[in-house]
Amino acid sequence: MPDPFKLDLSQRPRRLRRTASLRALVEETVLRPQDFIAPLFVVEGKGAPEEIASMPGVFRLSIADLVKECRALWKLKVQAVALFPKLDAKLKDEEGTQALSEETLVLRAVRAVKKAVPELTVITDVALDPYTTHGHDGVLNAAGDDVENDRTVGILAKMAVLQARAGVDLVAPSDMMDGRVGAIRKTLDAAGFSGTGILAYSAKFNSAYYGPFREAVGSAQAAGTRLLSKATYQMNPANRREALLEATLDAAEGADIVMVKPAGPYLDIIREVRGRTHKPIAAYQVSGEYAQIQAAARLGWLDLARTRHESLIAIKRAGADMILTYFAKDMGQALR
């Protein structure tokens, strides 16, 4: 029997959704293993990997296990890692002096990884929070109530040179101090490391989504609270124009890549920054984003694989060229 109702339509978008092969032909955004940067946590010693309670499937790794993980990622075509150290509390002080030791944990880890997998892109964090007893990203002023900007920048520039000397490909200042990108670029060039790039945490918001990461590196325990406020240097989540200013300043000071962090709650910022710069854009799907997806999936409320993929495709669709994500290895396996 003929259908009694027929629309007279010249445009039927569903035509291109009819089969899997048609859908693939018109797919606009594609994820590849090479799009991902795997954040990895390294600890001293030779013990077994330590799972982070609030980040199921994410571990603190000895240097030996870190090297194994980097080899596994490379085989999956995940070609970049970002290293974060968890130091013994005895090595921390108010000034974060361990950050300037040539034998500090992260530098030994860099040397081991680059020796084992020389083609892998290795990125290191430039900030003092893993090294300070108070958990802040820089050194405190005399009153102890705020981070001292310029003195912190001087330390960060020295950190960047040590990291470049160890063999990193990109240094990543995550501290949000004013002027640190320009100072780091100038110091690297003067030390003969003009080829070492800067991935700047440009629009880094004072987010509630960082809690599991602070547990992972021990900065929360150092401060005695998971609610340490960094509002005087990380950005107000309400501000869009300020994010564009920060990204513009970092690009002008010599950043090779600018970053928005967190990613998922700030897709509008990624899109805005994409419209303002020709620089590559990174976005960090942070620990809280990862943890909430894992938690909901474990409760049976979400499909883990589909939610994971959708969250990452949204970040890339918004304009990110590369994504730091704790799902990097899983995605490398899923996209084979």
- Catalytic (active-site) positions: 204, 261
163: closest CA among 90, 110, 234? Answer: 110
> Strand 322-325 relative to strand 197-204: parallel, antiparallel, unpaired?
unpaired
What amino acid is encoded at 167 in this protein? G
Asked whether 153 and 172 are in contact (CB, 8 A), the reply is no
Instruction: Write the CB contacts of 91 (distance below 8 Å, at least 6 apart in sequence).
Output: 98, 131
- φ, ψ of residue 270 to 5 degrees: the values are -55, -45
How many alpha carbons lie under 13 Å from residue 216 in its C-beta half-sphere?
Answer: 27
Asked whether 198 and 257 are in contact (CB, 8 A), the reply is yes
H helices of 204-282, where? 211-217, 219-223, 241-253, 267-274
